[in-house]
Amino acid sequence: MNVALMGSVSSSWHSLDALIRSGVEVTGVLGVDESQAERISDYRSLRELANKAGIPFHAFVKVSEPGVEEFLRDRPPDLLWVIGLSQLVPERLISIARQGGVGFHPTMLPEGRGRAPVAWTILLGARAAANLFFLTDKPDSGDIIIQRETPVLPDDYSEDLIRRTNLVLAEAIVELAPRLQAGDIPRTPQDDSKATYYQKRTPADGLMDWTKTSDEIYRLIRAAGRPYPGAFTYHQTLKLTVWRGRPAHRPISARNFEPGRVIRVTDNDGALVAAGDGALWITEAAVEGGSAMREIISEDDILG
């Protein structure tokens, strides 16, 4: 059994690499063109990896382009793997594959179907996993081919969880490869009665609310962080994109400081800011206009 792979992010690259290393026949690779890199969080080109392995490659901007369908029809696969692609792949393309399409999702399906799964996993303290499943007309609801839980650590940022899930995904593909090659694909139906769904997130959802607990704010910083647009707050009219932070080790009474009040600023630790139940250090931030955080923030300033 052979596959074609379509994708645009790091999970796409790791999937392709694992397929190649496992000896699975890849008939073709379709990747979003490098010109779109700045528009896609966690973008990674598949061109070099495909070319190095001698696999036909086709770049596209929109999956609806005629060249995408022509490329697939010229070398129809048994399975079309759609890994890390935010665009909806029409049924006419999936139907070119003799045995249908395969998707990837990083939650413990049927829990956490839907959008922004990595961010929601961190925000909600939920479970993560690497899943390959058959594509259907309902998002993330098809029969599961393989599912491997991924550890989520207390201080994981999105980039940490993505990196770890990619490794688990690659290991799962290597494990699955002999059955792919034998044409014996496992499939376990999902229990729809246990399904939960995550909603879409936008950059605006990264706005920090200093009246929330320090733990909630810390979760937001980690969830919205790289490769995503980042959590953010304001110092007067300047936007601060907060990339890193940590809760204060010593409890600070919220009664002594209003939320958003800058309590302390140091060269080594950054800015200590009062939250709804204590305080949180901003240890890395980018200031709109390029100034250093230490240059614009002083003790007793208010953020928000």
- pLDDT tens-digit readout, 21-73: 999 999 999 999 999 999 999 999 999 999 999 999 999 999 999 999 999 99
Asked whether 89 and 62 are in contact (CB, 8 A), the reply is no
Q: What pLDDT, on the 0 to 100 scale, is given for residue 78?
A: 98
DSSP state of 66: H
Q: Kindly state the tokens that stand for 7.
A: 């994708």
Q: What pLDDT, on the 0 to 100 scale, is given for residue 295?
A: 87
Beta strands in 178-277 (DSSP E): 197-198, 231-235, 238-247, 262-266, 270-274
Q: What pLDDT, on the 0 to 100 scale, is given for residue 255?
A: 57
Integer distance in angstroms from the first to the last C-alpha of the chain?
A: 55
Q: What percent of the chain has pLDDT over 70?
A: 98
What order do you get walking across the sheet with 270-274 strand by strand? 231-235, 238-247, 279-287, 270-274, 262-266
Instruction: Tell me: pLDDT of 226 over 60.
Output: yes
Instruction: Tell me: pLDDT of 152 over 70.
Output: yes
Hey, what domains does the chain have and what are their CATH numbers?
A: 3-197 (3.40.50.170), 203-296 (3.10.25.10)
Q: What pLDDT, on the 0 to 100 scale, is given for residue 251?
A: 61
Angle between helix axes 117-124 and 214-224 (nearest 10 degrees) is 160
Angle between helix axes 158-181 and 117-124 (nearest 10 degrees) is 120
Q: What pLDDT, on the 0 to 100 scale, is given for residue 129?
A: 98
Asked whether 148 and 107 are in contact (CB, 8 A), the reply is no
Q: What pLDDT, on the 0 to 100 scale, is given for residue 45?
A: 98
- The chain-wide mean pLDDT, for the chain, equals 95
One-letter amino acid of 137: D
Tell me the average pLDDT across 279-303: 92
H-helix or E-strand containing 280? strand 279-287
Q: What pLDDT, on the 0 to 100 scale, is given for residue 291?
A: 85
- pLDDT tens-digit readout, 232-289: 999 999 999 999 999 997 666 545 789 999 999 998 889 999 999 889 999 999 999 8
User: What confidence tier does 151 reach under pLDDT thresholds 50, 70, 90?
Assistant: very high
What pTM does this model have?
Answer: 0.94
